[in-house]
């Protein structure tokens, strides 16, 4: 069995190559790192949902995670991997909100300075929560400016470590701990997951989840869920190489607007994912309302896209055990009120 990535990293103090594969051993190592700080979210099953779709569905509620989304897992694993000698310069990240909060919270725990580059139109609640964790927030115009160039410039000037939102092996391994928990909890129930659905922006979450789940359940189908028109992962899977979406304007799934899958994440996802599905903004809004009214769960639009695809009948699930990752709950209060009204 290969040594976990954390041990390989500490041995030579160098970052693994960007194209290096993330393995189950890396996720096992990440689980040991994040366990004292992250919430082990449960698998939830609701009769009303099972009856609605005619099969057994389990929800992985990552909105109950620290900072309100799965992003804390990857951020904490990444920041923990930074050698002590390199921590004085702090960290820099770019994010529409959930990665921002994850990095800010992890930095606060590890006594590191965090600077986060965020779009001006990101939800106010996400910006304010990021600041509340002690991070400096730098705003940019996502239509006119390059967030990665801004972050790289800040990192170079300050000698900080850039923490990418998805194309990083430690981030992917950290996100994969959610998939590891899914596999463990399904095994404890004596069940096999036939279908596992998770959303994707850059693809870090689903890459980690797919790696962990398929290590235990090779036959499981892992499906990526995306907003309609923003289905760059679905397009890329069908094309066999990375493809950008060509959506114009905005989607209510503000966390899922990356234009193209990550290079590293797609190298994993192209091998492990079965296919992709989409849901319209109207279907996502209906799923957010369903989760609130019927399940008493607060899910942000991007976190509900997999549930939306299920409720809209986009996936053949009859007679199958289905697991859906609800990736976050950091929804703007005004938008949430409109969706559930």
**Residue-wise pLDDT tens digits, 218-262:** 999 999 999 999 999 999 999 999 999 999 888 999 889 899 999
CA distance 146 to 46: 43
Nearest one of 192, 256, 247, 246 to 224, comparing CA atoms: 256
What local confidence, expressed as pLDDT, does residue 267 receive? Answer: 97
Per-residue DSSP letters for 90-137? Answer: -EEEE-SSHHHHHHHHHHHHTT--EEEEEETTS-HHHHHHHHHTT-EE
Write down the residue that tokens 């160098």 correspond to: 14
Assess contact for 289 and 296: CB atoms under 8 A.
Answer: no
- The helix/strand count (H/E) of the chain reads as 14, 9
What local confidence, expressed as pLDDT, does residue 34 receive? Answer: 98
Q: How many CB atoms lie within 10 A of CB 16?
A: 17
Assess contact for 125 and 187: CB atoms under 8 A.
Answer: no
pLDDT tens digits for range 85-136 = 999 999 999 987 899 999 999 999 999 999 999 989 887 888 899 999 999 9
What local confidence, expressed as pLDDT, does residue 21 receive? Answer: 85
What local confidence, expressed as pLDDT, does residue 20 receive? Answer: 57
CA distance 231 to 279: 10
Domains of the chain, CATH where assigned: 5-69+168-340 (3.40.50.1100), 71-162 (3.40.50.1100)
What Å distances lie between residue 83 and 6, 88, 89, 190, CA to CA? 11, 10, 11, 41
Q: Specify burial of residue 208 (Cβ count, 10 A radius: 0-12, 13-18, 19+).
A: buried
Q: How many CB atoms lie within 10 A of CB 53?
A: 16
What local confidence, expressed as pLDDT, does residue 9 receive? Answer: 41
What is the reported pTM? Answer: 0.92
Nearest one of 161, 159, 164 to 147, comparing CA atoms: 164
What Å distances lie between residue 68 and 22, 101, 108, 168, 176, CA to CA? 25, 9, 16, 21, 17
Q: What are phi and psi of 167, to 5 degrees?
A: -85, 65
Q: How many CB atoms lie within 10 A of CB 54?
A: 10
The C-alpha angle 58, 59, 62, rounded to 5 degrees, equals: 150
Non-local CB neighbours of 300 within 8 Å, separated by 6+ positions: 63, 69, 255, 288, 328, 329, 330, 331
Q: Which residues of the chain have pLDDT under 50?
A: 1, 7-19
- Residue 227 DSSP SS3: strand
């Amino acid at each position: 069995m290969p040594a976990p990535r954390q041990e390989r990293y500490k041995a030579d103090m160098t970052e693994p190559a960007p194209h290096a594969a993330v393995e189950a051993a890396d996720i096992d190592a990440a689980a040991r790192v994040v366990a004292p700080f992250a919430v082990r979210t449960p698998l939830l099953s609701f009769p009303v949902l099972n009856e609605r779709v005619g099969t057994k569905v389990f929800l992985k509620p990552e909105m109950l995670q620290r900072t309100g989304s799965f992003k804390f897992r990857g951020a904490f694993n990444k920041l923990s991997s930074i050698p002590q000698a390199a921590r004085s310069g702090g960290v820099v990240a770019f994010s529409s909100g959930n990665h921002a909060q994850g990095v800010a919270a992890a930095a606060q725990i590890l006594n590191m300075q965090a600077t986060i580059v965020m779009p001006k139109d990101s939800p106010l609640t996400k910006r304010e929560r990021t600041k509340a964790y002690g991070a400096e927030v730098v705003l940019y115009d996502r239509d006119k400016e390059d967030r990665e160039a801004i972050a790289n410039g800040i990192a170079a000037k300050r000698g900080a470590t850039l923490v990418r939102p998805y194309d990083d092996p430690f981030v992917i391994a950290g996100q994969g701990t959610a998939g590891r928990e899914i596999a463990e909890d399904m095994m404890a129930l004596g069940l096999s997951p036939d279908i596992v659905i998770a959303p994707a922006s850059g693809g870090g979450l689903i890459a980690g989840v797919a790696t962990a789940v398929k290590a235990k359940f090779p036959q499981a189908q892992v499906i990526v869920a995306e907003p309609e028109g923003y289905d760059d992962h679905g397009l890329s899977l069908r094309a066999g190489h990375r493809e950008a979406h060509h959506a114009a304007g905005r989607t209510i799934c503000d966390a899922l607007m990356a234009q193209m899958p990550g290079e590293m994440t797609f190298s994993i996802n192209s091998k492990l994912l079965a296919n992709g599905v989409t849901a319209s903004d109207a279907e996502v809004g209906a799923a957010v309302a369903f989760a609130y009214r019927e399940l008493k769960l607060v899910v942000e639009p991007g976190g509900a896209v997999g549930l939306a695809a299920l409720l809209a009948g986009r996936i053949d699930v009859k007679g199958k055990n289905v697991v859906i990752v609800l990736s976050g709950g950091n929804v703007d209060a005004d938008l949430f009120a409109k969706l559930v009204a």
